[in-house]
Amino acid sequence: MRMAPPTSPRSSTRSPRTAPFAAFAPVALTPRARVFVLTGAGISAESGIRTFRDANGLWEQHRFEDVASPEGWNADAALVWRFYAERRAQAVACQPNPAHRELADLERTLGARLFLCTQNVDDLHEKAGHGRVVHMHGELMKSRCESCSRAPFDDVEPYAAVPRCECGARIRPHIVWFGEEPFAMDRIQQALDACDVFVTIGSSGAVYPAAGFVRAVRARVSGDGKPATTLYVGPEEPDNAAMFDECRLGLAGDAVPGLFTT
């Protein structure tokens, strides 16, 4: 993943409708509508997960180069493990909020017609009852071998020292670090190509490639020849606000319940 490029999507001449979420009517989903939902740090922050960019956030204590990059891992793997052990310990106690639960209900209604992609590495969507979540940036509660083909595995151990795989290589957090390729990009692209409604919830629009998803959706039409609907939900406009039809301002826990009618 990478941060926003020098040329920002705000250079577009689009003027989204921006207002508090209560000013908008629910989005009526047709019986065949396919919905792509991208969730970011904002939805998890409402459940108590510390984010990287807020005041007193994770970057206040650590440079991302030290704890979230291949270079940092190679320079001080023990520091990296301590950092993620602290994140695991903090995330275990956090519970889903109404936005997570509403999206889980939507999955039960739409089934495979809902594609939920998250930039978050916590397991709050799963705790809410989701059965099919794409974690494009990895999963905090999993680890993997840095070398062999062993599959990623569930892991909540704090580790006093850097663990080793049976093959002898180091075990690392199952996290996509800066400079690495996000997971499941082929599946994500297929879902972007097929969706009728695209929704971003609580993402700043500053981290790519996720921040570019809405632009990709706006560049095409849906299967019935109509432009796909693009919505943003969050407390403030994201960096890529100009790409959305509507920016519904408010906390996800307040705005997501009632976002759709089916």
**Domain CATH code at residue 157:** 3.30.1600.10
Six token digits for residue 174: 């199952």
Q: Which of 100, 130, 135, 137 is catalytic?
A: 137
Let me know whether 162 and 238 are in one domain: no
Diameter over CA atoms, the chain: 58
Does residue 229 or residue 1 have the better pLDDT? 229
7 confidence band (pLDDT: 50, 70, 90): very low
Reply yes or no on whether 62 is catalytic.
Answer: no
E strand or H helix at 45, and its extent? helix 41-45
Let me know whether 100 and 217 are in one domain: yes
* C-alpha to C-alpha distance for 252 and 256, rounded to whole angstroms: 5
Let me know whether 89 and 213 are in one domain: no
Let me know whether 133 and 247 are in one domain: yes
Of 159, 175, 191, the residue at which a domain comes to its end is 175
Whether 113 contacts 181, CB under 8 Å: no
SS3 label, residue 197 = strand
| Phi and psi based region of residue 37 (left: phi greater than 0; alpha: psi -120 to 50; beta: remaining) | beta
Report pLDDT digits (tens) over 99-138: 999 999 999 999 999 999 999 999 999 999 999 999 999 9
* pLDDT exceeds cutoff 60 at 12: no
**Mean pLDDT of all residues belonging to the chain:** 90
Let me know whether 104 and 190 are in one domain: yes
Q: What length does the chain have?
A: 262
Q: What is the CATH number of the domain that holds 8?
A: 3.40.50.1220
- Segments forming the whole domain that contains residue 29: 1-48+95-137+182-262
E strand or H helix at 105, and its extent? helix 98-110
Let me know whether 189 and 241 are in one domain: yes
Average pLDDT over residues 209-228: 84
Whether 135 contacts 183, CB under 8 Å: yes
13 confidence band (pLDDT: 50, 70, 90): very low
* pLDDT exceeds cutoff 50 at 154: yes
Angle at 178 between CA 166 and CA 39, to 5 degrees: 100
* pLDDT exceeds cutoff 90 at 181: yes
Six token digits for residue 189: 């692209």
Indicate the number of domains in the chain.
2
Q: Which of 141-145, 158-162, 222-226 has the highest mean pLDDT?
A: 141-145
Let me know whether 156 and 228 are in one domain: no
Let me know whether 193 and 257 are in one domain: yes
Let me know whether 133 and 233 are in one domain: yes
* C-alpha to C-alpha distance for 208 and 109, rounded to whole angstroms: 30
Average pLDDT over residues 235-245: 95
193 confidence band (pLDDT: 50, 70, 90): very high
